[in-house]
Amino acid sequence: MILKKITKALTLDVDCVALDCEDGVAINRKEQARATIRGVLDKGRPDQSKTDLGVRVNSIDSGLCHSDLESCLSGNNLPDTILLPKVESSEHLKWFADEISHLVKNDNKINLIIFIESAMAFVNLVDICKSAVQLSKRFNFVPTTLVFGSDDFCANIGATRTSNSIEILHARQKLVLTAKAFNLQAIDMVYIQYKDLDGLKAQSEEGMRMGYTGKQVIHPGQVPVVQEAFLPTKTQIDWAQGLLRSFEEHQKTGKVPEKWLIILGAFAYRGSMIDMPTMKQAQNIMKLAKLSK
């Protein structure tokens, strides 16, 4: 990632900027990318910026990861987050924990975002998550997120991309399911046709409906489309607020509003049966709406 793009990325209103040493960087530019990233970290984040500053290092099996980590974890300003691509086993996590323990000299806890992007990674996914959580109790990193690396995944399993993405459906669902089981965020795939904003919107909304909490972006033009797709709509917020207000009222007064028909603990609201799972969905919507303010 060249300095011009990094400078631009740091002005964007995004949750996390990933400074890339991996697949966005040509093999003969790795040293240069490390030096550029070191320079950006040394300068410090722009004033008022709340954006999480991350570095995507090269994969452990590439043989380049140690030098990437050594470079970005030296100096006074550390990245908030390391994005670790092509994680395939708990051994990879052990290697990473060992590196971190040698390279991070203070008590800082570095966030860890884990890329899952091969058949082997999916076969070992539960072990990877268990190992990340266990190791984080003894080493100074915090696993926060799983990312679905769909492009590498398709290359790895020999899949052909289709318009309805059927070839990645199982993996895409498995990732979100496993992430949630371990209380991790799930970040959805990249949409590489970066000029096709309608296609991006459709894929982002699909990911959001599947339970993903966000999406990777590769171009500034993708940011507003993705953010809008992952935030609750006004209609959803009105529905959730109305439902929670009515429920609270009911809890206080013990009275059933006339429009509610109580059947075995459930009630009717705006034409739907509501019980605890729907109340929790309404709470999720409001939590997300508050977080985005």
Ligand X SMILES: CC(=O)SCCNC(=O)CCNC(=O)[C@H](O)C(C)(C)COP(=O)(O)OP(=O)(O)OC[C@H]1O[C@@H](n2cnc3c(N)ncnc32)[C@H](O)[C@@H]1OP(=O)(O)O
Catalytic residues: 275
The Cα-based distances of 69 to 74, 79, 127, 267 in angstroms read: 8, 10, 24, 55
The reply on whether position 149 binds ligand LL5AMS7Z by CB under 6 A is yes
Residue 248 parent element (H or E): helix 234-253
Question: Shortest gap between Cβ of 289 and ligand LL5AMS7Z (angstroms)?
Answer: 29
Choices 33-41, 117-125, 138-146, 198-206 (CB under 5 A): range interacting with Mg ion: 117-125
Whole-angstrom Cα distance, residue 242 to residue 270? 10
Q: HSE-up of 289 (CA within 13 Å, CB side)?
A: 16
The reply on whether position 191 binds ligand LL5AMS7Z by CB under 6 A is no
Choices 2-10, 145-153, 238-246, 265-273 (CB under 6 A): range interacting with ligand LL5AMS7Z: 145-153
Closest residue to ligand X: CB criterion: 24
Residue the block writes with tokens 């496993």: 178
Structure tokens at 230: 């992952």
Residue 56 marked in a binding site: yes
Instruction: Tell me the helices (H) and strands (E) count for the chain, helix number first.
Output: 12, 9
Q: 237: how many CB neighbours lie within 10 A of its CB?
A: 16
Q: 173-192 mask for ligand X (x: CB under 6 A)?
A: -----------------x--
Whole-angstrom Cα distance, residue 212 to residue 208? 5
The reply on whether position 4 binds ligand X by CB under 6 A is yes
Among 167, 220, 237, 284, binds ligand X (CB under 6 A): 220
Q: Which residues bind ligand LL5AMS7Z (CB under 6 A)?
A: 85, 115, 117, 149-152, 189-190
